[in-house]
Copies of this chain bind each other. A is one copy, B any other.
Amino acid sequence: MIIQLEKNIAASQKEKLQEKLQSINYEGNEVNTQFGNYIVAVGKKDFDIRSIGTMEGIKDIHKVSDPYKLVSKKWKVKDTVIDLGDDVKIGTGHFPIMAGPCSIESEEQIESTINHLVENGIKIMRGGVYKPRSSPYAFRGLGMDGLKLWYEQAKAAGLKIITEVMMVEQIEAMADYVDIFQVGARNSQNFNLLDALGEVDKPVLLKRGISGTIDELLQAAEYIFSNGNEKIMLCERGIRSYENAYRNCFDINAIAILKEKTHLPIISDPSHGIGLRQFVEPVALASIMGGADGVIMEVHQSPEKAFSDGQQTLSYKQATKTYEKIRRTYKLREEFKLI
């Protein structure tokens, strides 16, 4: 049950509300975000919500039977649109492409990527400075130095930055240089990290776990929201399956289902979703028809020389064609709304 509070609700009214909830054996979790104040009440007993809805200081009240609450479409029917400033928006009615290398490697590489993105009218650049790697001996990213270098150039070019954060301690230092924090598949249920990202007023792109369920993803997002941050987007990036012909199994079904279950934007990651360069385009286009609100993909000036993920990275030339097809496919999907 989600109880939306009036901004100016009196402390005494809140107390009354909590007492009321206790009396019916509900636990009331107070949630204050950039945009609203809520009590998420969790309990078992069925009762007439009007007895609460009519209390003073209550704006609205909704029953939400899902295990996730605040991220559910059952109470917030209007889709979330995240505004990054400078007219860059993510959510229904917009279709951002985020592109860039797997890893930030050098000043020269940053410059080259930015030129490519600007030429193609892309506003959000992806890149990793902290890299989760299976092996401790692999390249683990340029860290804060790389991020600062990147930030300067991106800012000058008017580009927004999305990059992965791996641990709570990194958040504060990174926050000034990042427009979207990315949580990787391996950290999809790193609950302390999610808690901490809930306390920052920065958009978060949350990837589905390596074998995460749709429900787990939504509950992970609930961690961020319930700690105070409503600016969340979810990302389908393929799941683990028995099939060895590709890296991950892009779950096209999940996009359609997520669009029904949540008001949050859904971004597709076709690069990880199939893991093979020559098939990134069809998966990207498919994900749009499946309902995605945006795409994040890997490009590199020389994919075969990339520090990581080269086999799933597009060259600029390939990518340029793909961007055009993405935009035309999105346009057609928008036209379908009229049928």
Q: Decide: A249 near B241, CB < 8 A? Known: A27-B137, A288-B289.
A: yes
Instruction: For A211, give the chain B residue with the smallest CB separation.
Output: B211
Size class of A's contact patch? 35 or more
- A215-B245, A260-B279 given. 11 additional CB < 8 A pairs? A134-B215, A167-B167, A211-B211, A239-B241, A239-B249, A252-B252, A256-B274, A288-B289, A325-B339, A328-B335, A328-B336
Please tell me if the beta carbons of A273 and B253 are within 8 angstroms of each other in the complex. yes
Please tell me if the beta carbons of A252 and B286 are within 8 angstroms of each other in the complex. yes
Q: Report the separation of the CA atoms of residues A187 and B215 in the bound assembly, to the nearest whole angstrom.
A: 19
Contacts of A226 in B (CB 8 A): 136-137
A207 to chain B, nearest CB (A): 13
Contacts of A211 in B (CB 8 A): 210-211, 240, 242
A254 contacts the other chain (CB 8 A): yes
Q: Report the separation of the CA atoms of residues A329 and B335 in the bound assembly, to the nearest whole angstrom.
A: 11
Identify which of residues 184-207 in chain A touch chain B, using a CB-to-CB cut-off of 8 Å.
186-187, 189-193, 195
Contacts of A191 in B (CB 8 A): 132-133, 136, 166, 186
Point out the residue from B214, B335, B336 that lies within 8 Å of A245, measured CB to CB: B214
Identify which of residues 132-150 in chain A touch chain B, using a CB-to-CB cut-off of 8 Å.
132-137
Identify which of residues 261-279 in chain A touch chain B, using a CB-to-CB cut-off of 8 Å.
273-274, 276, 278-279
Contacts of A253 in B (CB 8 A): 238, 243, 245-246, 249-250, 273-274, 279, 283
